Amino acid sequence: MRFSVLVAAATVASATPVVKRQQAMSNPILHFFVFGDSYSSSGFNETSPAPTIAQPLGFPPLGTSPDDLLGNPLIANQTSSNGPIWPQFLTTRWNTSTTLLYDFAISGASIPDGYTDQALNIYEPKYSSLYAGDYGNMSMQIPVTNGSAGGGTLGMTWTGNTSIFASWIGINDINWCSLLFTRTPDVPFSSCLPPRLDEYFNLMDNLYITGARNFFFVNLPPLQRAPMVFEKGQKYVDNYAQGVELWNQHLLPQYIANFTASHPGVRSITYDAHTFFSTILDRPRVYGFRDNTCYSCIGCRNVTGCFWSNNYHPVWQVHDRLSRDMVANLTAVGWPGPQPIT
């Protein structure tokens, strides 16, 4: 997949290919913070148990083994994919070091609704440097426990170098600005979307202040190819395609470039989900899917070869492939291990 890396006052380290994830406790623990909408939401929230070495997802817990996410039906009940989602696959399978997942994503989130709540009301009060009373310090004092009954800490903390902040947002913002949902159809995407990105990157400023230095942004998939949109007709397909193109090709890259250039020490990478989705949707049978239009429903267990779990969300098999494809790009912002050999 195509991707771009922006570096401000930082260098990118190389890594050695691996065959399978290793639980190398001598390596730094990676803290993976995720913000987004239903494409990323796992059910984790402010009342969930914090991730531990024994339970790196926090909530929902692992399946029967660290590599068996499908062994826990609770995971499927909490996601939009009828199974695990990309942050869970990344955390448990596609890395070479212990990784703890803090998945703040909320189903239905947009900017500022939902997304602001994740950053200011869930992350900051409990997991940021503000919580530690150490405002602006790159070393965040979150105690990491070993999951034992006593809850003893291992004396480890996350820092700017041992954490990655991932953000996949904008899918619902396209909805609310589109002809399909907007109450003001005379307002174009070019007027509706920029204020949302202003809010978005104000929140990135907040994350930076709390110690975040490695940022992983995901652009928008081809939403016009989701059944919810194409079933409405060509007028809506064209409208969604216009909004996605403006977000992906013009707005998001410029905002990321400006943010990276103005924040010393930041490393930013943009993952091209649009190309990834398009590649599979163009040739679904090659990738093991029946076609690119069928879907069932979230919570159903009788999905047979469909790309879509419902009319707007991909199934877990797409998330599995997506996570594997992301790994090679994530190494540029510190992910422990490049693309696995399968």
Entry pTM = 0.86
Look at residues 322, 29, 260, 31 and name the one whose alpha carbon lies nearest to residue 164: 31
What residues are paired with 160 via a beta bridge? none
For tokens 């909004």, name the residue: 243
State the first-to-last Cα distance of the chain, in angstroms, to the nearest integer.
Answer: 17
Q: Please tell me what DSSP assigns to residue 180.
A: T
Class of domain 3-333: alpha beta
Domain positions in the chain are 3-333
Helices (H), 59-127: 73-78, 86-92, 115-116, 124-127
d(CA 264, CA 7): 9
Residue 26, burial from CB neighbour count under 10 angstroms (0-12, 13-18, 19+): exposed
**pLDDT digits (tens), the chain, 342 positions:** 444 445 443 322 222 222 233 333 345 789 999 999 999 999 998 888 888 888 899 899 887 765 678 778 888 889 999 999 999 999 998 988 889 999 999 999 999 999 999 999 899 888 875 544 333 344 444 444 444 444 444 444 788 888 999 999 999 999 999 999 987 777 899 999 999 999 999 999 999 998 899 999 999 999 999 999 999 999 999 999 999 999 999 999 999 999 999 999 999 999 999 999 999 999 999 999 999 999 988 877 656 799 999 999 999 999 999 999 999 899 999 998 654 434
- Whether the CB-CB separation of 166 and 207 falls below 8 Å is answered with no
- Burial letters for 249-262: b for 16+ Cβ neighbours within 10 Å, e otherwise? eebbbebbeebbee
Which three-class secondary structure state does DSSP give residue 93? coil
Contact by Cβ (8 Å): 310, 297? yes
132 touches 140 (CB < 8 A): yes
Residue 295 in contact with residue 310, Cβ under 8 Å?
A: yes
Torsion angle of C-alpha atoms 150, 153, 154, 157, degrees rounded to 10: 160
Rounded to 5 degrees, what are φ and ψ at 184?
A: -125, 75
